[in-house]
Each structure stands twice: as C-alpha cells, then as structure tokens.
Chain A
C-alpha cells in the first residue's frame, strides 16, 4: 500500500515563527503536492513538484515555499507564520505510470494553529 506520512499531526506556532511541514512517501512517486483544506473552500493547491528539485506554484503560493531535495520527501515552509495560515495541510503524491496513474494518495494531514 502507498503510504504518505506527514511528520506532525498537530502544531501550534506563534505569529512570525518559521514552520516546517514534512512529508514522505514510500512508493517512488514522481509527483508530490501540498494542499490546504479549509471548511467550505475544499482543497486548494499550494505547491507541487514533478521531480527532485523541481517546484511549481499552485493556486495559493503566497506566504509559502517548498523544498524537494529527495524524491520521497517534500517539505512545506512557512517563512513567517501568520494567523490566516491556521489550517489543515495535506500532502499528496501520485505516479505518472501504471494502473494508478493520476490518483492522488494523501497523508492524514497536519493541523496548524498560529496564535
């Protein structure tokens, strides 16, 4: 089974702090994604990556950056956390090949509260 693991389920940070959210997938998927989930707004794409060291902006990249130094790991960085970044963050991965092409496999989420 594909497993996407997000390092922290719950985080509480102060305004202005630097926040790292880590995600690791174990299925050698080429693509990795960071989504933000808010009630009524669904899932909105922050950043995605098609390959190591490659990154592309999604729909709401402002205030975020990402890093993909290894194929299995994709990190989301909040350089200076703000209260409007309080949300659930979901990491996902997908493959370009095989029977499951295009299917997103999600982690269980990281709930971030910024005070």
Chain B
C-alpha cells in the first residue's frame, strides 16, 4: 500500500503548455516534500522541495503547491519544454530532511511534444 499516491501515471503536453502532477498522502507526520526528476538511463535527482509551513514554492518554471489541510501537493511545470520530458516522483519524509528515508509516489512519465 503506497503512503504517497501520485497521479497521473503519464502525461503528454504540448511545448509551452503546463504540466500538472498531483500527490496525496495520509501520514500527517510527513513534513518534507521533495520532487525528483529522472531522465532515461539516469538516477533520479532532486528538482525542488517544500516544507508544510509554506503553501507554494517556485524555482524557475517549476512550482510546488501545498495544501496541508487536504494533505495534497502538486508540481506545476510552466512553459513545458521537450527537455522536461522525464519521469517525476513526489516524495515525503516524516522526520525532516536530515538523512531519513523518503516514501516515494508511483511516478509520472511526462512527454513534452515539440
């Protein structure tokens, strides 16, 4: 049983469009929510992360929105580019970021068409 549920499993978006990936969690002890990006043949790499004391965090074209009461968070990729085509994983950690184990969502494969 996955503690972090991620949707959709796959997503196709046109260049310049907005990609939206949603995640929901049950464990209220989670207090650190990173997103990882994985290109084919590579390991995942940290893209952006948020803590529940803020509702939104933006880094370039990537934005995390966080709704603590609904126990949901989402990744928005603005002005999507073909180079953004990758698999994206949301994750959650119950003990903060200090070397503790992350619980990952099932992943979303994003394809940006030129």
Contact = CB atoms under 8 A, between A and B. Distances in A.
B100 interface: yes
Interface in A38-66: 39-45, 48, 50, 58-59
Contact of A102 (B32, B45, B104): B32
A115 interface: no
Contacts of B29: none
Contact of B9 (A30, A40, A95): A40
B99 A95 contact: yes
B94 interface: no
Q: Classify the secondary structure of B's interface with A.
A: loop
A96 B41 contact: no
Contacts, number: 67
Interface in A89-115: 90, 92, 94-96, 101-109
Nearest to A44: B104
Interface size class of A (residues with CB under 8 A): 20 to 34
A26 B42 CA distance: 18
B6 interface: yes
Contact of B101 (A39, A41, A48, A96): A48
Contacts of B105: 42
A33 interface: yes
Interface of B: 2, 4, 6, 9, 32, 34, 36, 41-46, 89, 93, 96-107
Interface of A: 4, 30-31, 33, 35, 39-45, 48, 50, 58-59, 90, 92, 94-96, 101-109
